[in-house]
């Protein structure tokens, strides 16, 4: 299912080495001020840069091909397309029958009977997070003045992130990272029992992002070690403000008006220069190889804006479902 | 949204102190052998018992009111109802205007304009996991011989779970717990890009369960501290078997045929005998109170079967979507 | 798919000769005044009566088993159940292997591998329109003061409906009917491009009702014989009022504020006393037989309230999607 | 909602005078042989031509921008885009505040607060049927060898269609038409109770097509005038073959293996050269005007392929839901 959302519906399409990647956003209220330029700040934050970034550089220029007129949304679906310019598919030819460990190569081959586009991960590539970031930028405009802000807390277990990434890159290796996202200004009441808890929907989209292995809200994995008297957040006013925020801004799956807080575990990129073991599917025999292509040492560096986007599309959907956003935005 | 699933669709209804709780399961293939007795083993595992269990005891007898004939499913929706017998709503009257910390009392009141059924948490109650467990039992029959098995690894940070729970209960307090779930026998290929990663769907249903604060797959929150050369699971045969299982049985959101492994963080129950702080909504003034009603010291003790059920309904749905289950089951 | 609707979601369950039929309504705003009595007037209009009505008489007492408290909806799912009391399944035993012409007997057997509940049509029975009528009554309370009113225009091609039905009944035969439904008080703007035209959604639910063979809006099947200069409805004020109403109250799939008008073609009931031809599935040989069970001569007599209910659940959904109904109704 | 379908999901985007129109098809099985050329025959049948066709001529060259590789579908979403080349938006400027009778101009303005793209009907334009036809062509490849064939039976009430259209065009007027569609080779068992009757889904998509006022299956609006003994289709073999086909190939909303037959009423195009009445929204005063732009005298001439496409996307979805199409097509 390449579509998510009930009222603010996001569809994702494209492949890493195909013609383009893109998104269709259906249900965005009419009248929202929007131009391709509004997406650039978030798109830039997703670009490689800093230590250990992939040398594949894409211009990532968004074309909004439907749904806007005179700088405002019309109420019709927004179609946002990014042409792929800098794909080097030949890197992958040699490894057509050698699935890369940690990647979807083998499961995609099994699932789609070998007809999947395997070049650079195809539709499973992290490049598909680009249209997610674009849709997230639209969602954030809708959500303003509420904000979402994510940051990389540590990489490879260290807060000296730059040094950690540089060291791993020198070793032909990669590192993971831990990201925290905080949302401010969201009203109480977002989330829909039983299944559409705000945590349910955020986790749903977050785990669609390649490389995520865990998510926790508020006290998260520390909560099992707590007692109730410690974990409970005392209410200190009738609007729902709490003294502590171990719940991470929700109760019963509904926002409670306090800061929304969650953390996301990002694994180290699977593609590394160091030799790895796999199997040659033609012979069934073990092989050793180095990952082809151009890759990031620490994809988590580029993740904060993706995490924000995932949360933003969920919260825009829940705000519309709760009718706190007008169907004509202005 | 009280419905989840695309091909195996589960709807949940009812309240803690209302007439009943129940489920409608739509899309279950015809011809599956099924009787109310088939649900009892899972239902029993969810019942309170052991140290610190709530004294509210419900018979939890499932009535299957539609969708079966002569001991087999017919292809029409299954309706499974559990009458509530042992509710004591008067416990809650005194606290109508004092929201219990950690519960959904205040957000439900805000969201539904005060018309929500607040007795015992109403539709937000953990009692709503009973129909989930019933639906999970149906899903598990469909999935056989594949299995899901969850266990409580620790409570309150200790593996001496019984003693930890007893001590907390003596203090009028509560404790959380950490649960691990393992799935065996699932074929590779389950999960649907981009949004319906198997992790996305499992997390979605898991976070609908009251009291869950985190979920991690495979290496989970340890992955951010790893290097790629360590975290990658080397492929050792052409069927997808891997030497390690840091990924937890998925790649790119698709099952890879290895064991499915995830862990879930359960917070300590919010209702405790110890005094807590809240606010009287009539006056806006702080109040101190003890939780009314009858409650568990460690809800995590009853959670393993709920966690299994959540995963089972997701995997049954994905199996049907991948067409690995016939629409007529036998 | 036994569920319909995006914001006002209706799920239907049950069988003609099973334990019950019923509905779950999810997404109904909180605070709507509602009791089982509010459903009775519509339920009574669906009951057999007048000439040629089936002698199967069911009390059709609605039990609202979740979602209300103190006479108001709570925002949680409404579950409405009708016990079956007066089923005579033995009537059908003799014809287990002789599919009744015009009924779903054979296709249900094929689709569900023979596991379907065939007694009285099972889940395919017209009895499933009872929970639709109940949900329609809820929807109509939400839609007030807007109204929907359907009437039987003719039966068996005649406006002397009573005489036509009596004559057919005397011959052991049945007759069809033509129903017109008019909706007043609906604001312009309901309907969602591209696929959720108001006509699309009404037709979707209408064709789920057993026995419907056609639907037309406004000029309908007369429109193909018209010229544009005749068919176009001249606008006579800035609010959208038109001189004629050939469009039936919509433009481009969106309500235009004029009266909503559509007609529905109901076929004669397939079950008749007169002998019919079928095939014995055990032998493949032709057989002649009379329909078992107790049936209506003219089901169209009972249809107006069903047609209204179908339109009501659609319009309640579209009103919520357009946010013209508050999520807390009062 | 610009998306339709559960397993074969079609999303539509674009505007008449915007940059493009297009479709995303999600859920198409992998391995289907597909190239842009495969779409051309259907696209050509939708083009204007013959008497009274609009002078707006678009090349309508499909670009498949994702989801295929080496001439086969990959299992990832198909994105099909048609650039708009020949829009003349200036035709519409003068009438910005004068809603055209029969069009969605006024309701779109109301619904989207005036932010809708009104040029040439914008997202409400018949041009949006182009991506539907493209998706239909994909669906038809999946459905082969089953076929769908529609034809225009009459226009303006006459079977001398060419002459009727020419006469209306000479008068600056337009005419409607009646289309019949027949489907052959579909297996019994397609359709999903209660709400997803095959008629329900076909009608849903058909009414999304601009200009449709009615749909009937089999005997349709003749059925209300029939008696049951005449209308019932006698079964003549154990596979479900019937002597007559008054039901139009379905029972209980499920295909019965006989020919699928339905008819669709198309209204005369609302845009005509003859003067019409409307209202100037700035003044509220009546105005007389001639429709701007370039239009068809009889849009029904171009409709058969659109009707086939609508039915094809529904049947492809139902075939996948019934699992009669493999998820890898070849």
Mean pLDDT of D189-218: 98
Q: Considering CB atoms only, which of D108, D212, D228 is closest to C173?
A: D228
**Model confidence band, residue B55 (pLDDT cutoffs 50, 70, 90):** confident
Q: What is the mean pLDDT of chain A?
A: 94
Indicate yes or no: CB of A327 within 8 angstroms of CB of C327.
no
CB A1 within 8 A of CB A298: no
Is A228–B268 a contact, with Cβ atoms under 8 angstroms apart?
yes
Residues of B in contact with C3 (CB under 8 A): 3, 9, 11, 26
Please report the pLDDT score of residue D326 as a whole number.
Answer: 66
Residue contact C227–D174, C-beta within 8 A = yes
> By the CB < 8 Å criterion, does A76 face chain C?
yes
**Residue of A8, A20, A77, A127 to mutate, interface with D, max D Cβ within 10 Å:** A77
DSSP at C99: P
State which H helix or E strand residue B59 sits in: none
Q: Which residues of A touch D3 (CB under 8 A)?
A: 3, 9, 11, 26
Residue A328, classed as helix, strand or coil, is: strand
Q: Tell me what pLDDT residue A72 has.
A: 96
Quote the pLDDT of residue C96.
Answer: 83
CA distance B295 to B173: 11
For an interface test with B, give the residue of C28, C111, C112 to mutate (most B CBs within 10 A).
Answer: C112
Q: Is 0.90 exceeded by the ipTM?
A: yes
Tell me the pLDDT tens digit for each residue of A52-102: 888 778 899 999 999 999 999 999 999 999 999 877 777 767 778 999 999
Interface of B with D in 282-321 (CB under 8 A): 321
Does residue B120 belong to the interface with chain A, where contact is any CB pair within 8 Å? no
Q: Considering chain B, what percentage of its residues have pLDDT values greater than 90?
A: 88
pLDDT above 70 covers what percent of chain D?
A: 97
Question: Predicted confidence band at B57 (pLDDT cuts at 50, 70, 90)?
Answer: confident
Return the residue of B nearest to A114 by Cα. Answer: B189
Q: What is the pLDDT of residue A329?
A: 57
**CB–CB contact B66 C112 (8 Å):** no
Instruction: Flag if C14 and B65 touch (Cβ within 8 Å).
Output: yes
Q: Characterise C55 by phi-psi region: left (phi > 0), alpha (psi -120 to 50), beta (else).
A: alpha
Tell me the residue ranges of DSSP E strands in D96-165.
147-155
Exposure letters B20-32 (e unless 16+ CB within 10 A, then b): bbbbbbbbbbbbb
D96 touches chain A (CB under 8 A): no
For the segment C8-26, what is each residue's pLDDT rounded down to a tens digit?
999 999 999 999 999 999 9
CA angle C72–C74–C75, rounded 5-degree value: 130
Considering only CB atoms, which chain C residues are within 8 Å of A6?
Answer: 6
Q: If you write DSSP's letter for every residue of A223-269 in order, what string do you get?
A: GGGSBHHHHS--B-STT--BSS-TT-SEETTEE-SS-EEEEEEEPPP
Q: Which residue has the tokens 């930028």?
A: A137
3-state helix/strand/coil string of B295-307: CCCCHHHHCHHHH
- Determine the distance in angstroms separating the CA of C19 from the nearest CA of chain A, rounded to an integer: 27
Among C6, C76, C323, the residue with its CB nearest the CB of A6 is C6
- Chains contacting C (3 or more CB pairs within 8 Å): A, B, D
Mean pLDDT of A1-11: 97
Tell which wins on pLDDT, D143 or D48.
D143
DSSP result, B158-205: BS-HHHHHHHHHHTT--B-EEEEEEEESPPTT--BTTTB-HHHHHHHH
pLDDT of residue C294: 73
Given pLDDT bands bounded at 50, 70 and 90, which one contains residue C327? low
In this prediction, residue A327 carries a pLDDT of 58
Q: Report the distance separating Cα C4 and Cα B210, nearest Å.
A: 27
For residues A127 and A14, the answer to whether their CB atoms sit within 8 Å is yes
DSSP annotation of D242: B
Q: What is the mean pLDDT of chain B?
A: 94
Q: What is the per-residue pLDDT for B89?
A: 72
Q: What is the pLDDT of residue B326?
A: 65
- Do D193 and C123 make contact, defined as CB atoms within 8 angstroms? yes
Structure confidence at residue D329 (pLDDT) = 57
Worst-scoring range by mean pLDDT, A190-199, C179-188, D130-139, D279-288?
A: D279-288
Distance in Å, alpha carbon of D68 to nearest chain C alpha carbon: 25
- Closest Cβ–Cβ partner in C18, C76, C115 for B122: C76
Q: Which residue of C has its CA nearest to B9?
A: C1
Which of A322, A326, A327 is the closest to C327 by Cβ?
A322
Pairwise CB contact (< 8 Å): B30 & C2: no
Model pLDDT, residue C290:
84
Contact A195 B3 (CB under 8 A): yes
> What is the pLDDT at residue B30?
95
Band the pLDDT of C102: cuts 50, 70, 90: very high
At residue D94, does pLDDT exceed 80?
Answer: no
What is the length of chain C? 330
Q: Of residues C199 and A50, which shows the higher confidence score?
A: C199
pLDDT at D328: 63
Cα of C48 to nearest chain D Cα, Å: 18
What are the pLDDT digits (tens) for C268-295? 999 999 999 999 999 999 999 887 777 8
pLDDT band per the 50, 70, 90 thresholds, residue D95: confident
Mutation choice for B interface testing from C77, C80, C84, C87 by most B CBs within 10 A: C77
pLDDT (tens digit, 9 = 90+) per residue, B98-151?
Answer: 999 999 999 999 999 999 999 989 999 999 999 999 999 999 999 999 999 999
- Contact call for C251 and D212, based on CB within 8 A: no
Shortest distance between the Cα of D222 and any Cα of chain A, in A, equals 39
CA D130 – CA D192 distance, rounded (Å): 28
Residues of chain A found within 8 Å of residue C322, distances taken between Cβ atoms: 327
Which residue of chain D has the CA closest to A116? D74
Q: How do residues B206-263 score in pLDDT, each as one tens digit?
A: 999 999 999 999 999 999 999 999 999 999 999 999 999 999 999 999 999 999 999 9
Using DSSP, state whether B227 is helix, strand or coil. strand
With beta carbons under 8 A apart, name residues in chain C contacting D165: none
Average pLDDT, rounded, for chain D: 94
Contacts of C204 in chain D (CB under 8 A): 195, 200-201, 203-204
Q: State the average pLDDT over residues C28-38.
A: 96
The helix, strand and coil proportions of chain C, stated in percent and rounded to the nearest 5, come to: 30, 25, 45
Contact A323 C327 (CB under 8 A): yes
- Maximum Cα–Cα distance across chain A: 68
Average pLDDT over residues A272-299: 89
Beta-strand relationship, A250-251 and A276-279: unpaired
How do residues C137-157 score in pLDDT, each as one tens digit?
A: 999 999 999 999 999 999 999
B91 touches chain A (CB under 8 A): no
Q: Sort C283 into a burial class: Cβ within 10 Å, 0-12 / 13-18 / 19+.
A: exposed
Give yes or no for C252 touching D (CB within 8 A): yes
pLDDT digits (tens, 9 = 90+) for A15-33: 999 999 999 999 999 999 9
What is the distance between the alpha carbons of residues D63 and D47, in angstroms, rounded to a whole number? 17
State the Cα–Cα distance between residues A61 and B8, nearest whole angstrom: 40
User: Residues of B with CB below 8 A from A240's CB?
Assistant: 99, 106-107, 110
Whether the pLDDT of residue B292 is over 80: the answer is: no
Q: How far is CA B166 from CA B151, B173, B300, B306, in A?
A: 19, 10, 14, 23
Nearest chain B Cα distance for residue C113, angstroms: 6
Whether residues C201 and D204 touch (CB distance < 8 A) is answered with yes
The model's pLDDT over B90-100, given as tens digits with 9 standing for 90+, comes to: 776 777 899 99
- Answer whether the bond into residue C145 is a cis peptide, omega within 30°: yes
D 1-40 near B (Cβ less than 8 A): 6-7
Task: Compute the average pLDDT of residues B36-43.
Answer: 97
- D223 contacts C251? CB cut-off 8 A: no
């Amino acid at each position: 299912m390449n579509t998510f959302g009930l009222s603010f519906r996001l569809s994702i399409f494209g492949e890493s080495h195909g013609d383009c990647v893109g998104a269709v956003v259906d249900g965005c209220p009419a009248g929202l001020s929007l131009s391709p330029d509004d997406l650039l700040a978030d798109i830039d934050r997703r670009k490689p840069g800093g230590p250990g970034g992939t040398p594949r550089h894409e211009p990532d220029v968004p074309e909004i091909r439907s749904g806007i007129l005179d700088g405002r949304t019309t109420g019709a679906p927004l179609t946002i397309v990014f042409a792929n310019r800098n794909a080097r598919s030949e890197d992958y030819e040699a490894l057509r029958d050698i699935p890369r460990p940690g990647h979807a190569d083998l499961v995609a081959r099994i699932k789609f009977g070998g007809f999947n586009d395997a070049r650079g991960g195809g539709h499973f590539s992290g490049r598909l997070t680009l249209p997610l970031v674009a849709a997230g930028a639209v969602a954030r405009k809708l959500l303003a003045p509420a904000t979402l802000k994510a940051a990389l807390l540590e990489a490879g277990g260290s807060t000296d992130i730059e040094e950690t990434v540089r060291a791993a890159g020198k070793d032909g290796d990669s590192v993971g990272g831990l990201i925290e996202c905080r949302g401010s200004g969201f009203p109480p009441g977002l989330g829909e029992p039983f299944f559409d808890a705000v945590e349910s929907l955020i986790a749903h989209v977050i785990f669609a992002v390649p490389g995520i292995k865990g998510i926790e809200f508020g006290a998260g994995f520390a909560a099992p070690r707590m007692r109730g008297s410690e974990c409970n957040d005392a209410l200190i006013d009738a609007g729902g403000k709490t003294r502590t925020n171990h719940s991470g801004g929700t109760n019963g799956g509904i926002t409670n008006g306090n800061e929304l807080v969650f953390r996301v575990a990002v694994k180290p990129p699977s593609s590394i220069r160091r030799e790895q073991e796999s199997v040659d599917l033609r012979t069934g025999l073990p092989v050793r190889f180095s990952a082809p292509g151009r890759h990031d040492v620490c994809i988590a560096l580029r993740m904060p804006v993706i995490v924000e986007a995932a949360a933003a599309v969920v919260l825009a959907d829940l705000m519309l479902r709760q009718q706190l956003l007008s169907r004509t935005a202005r």
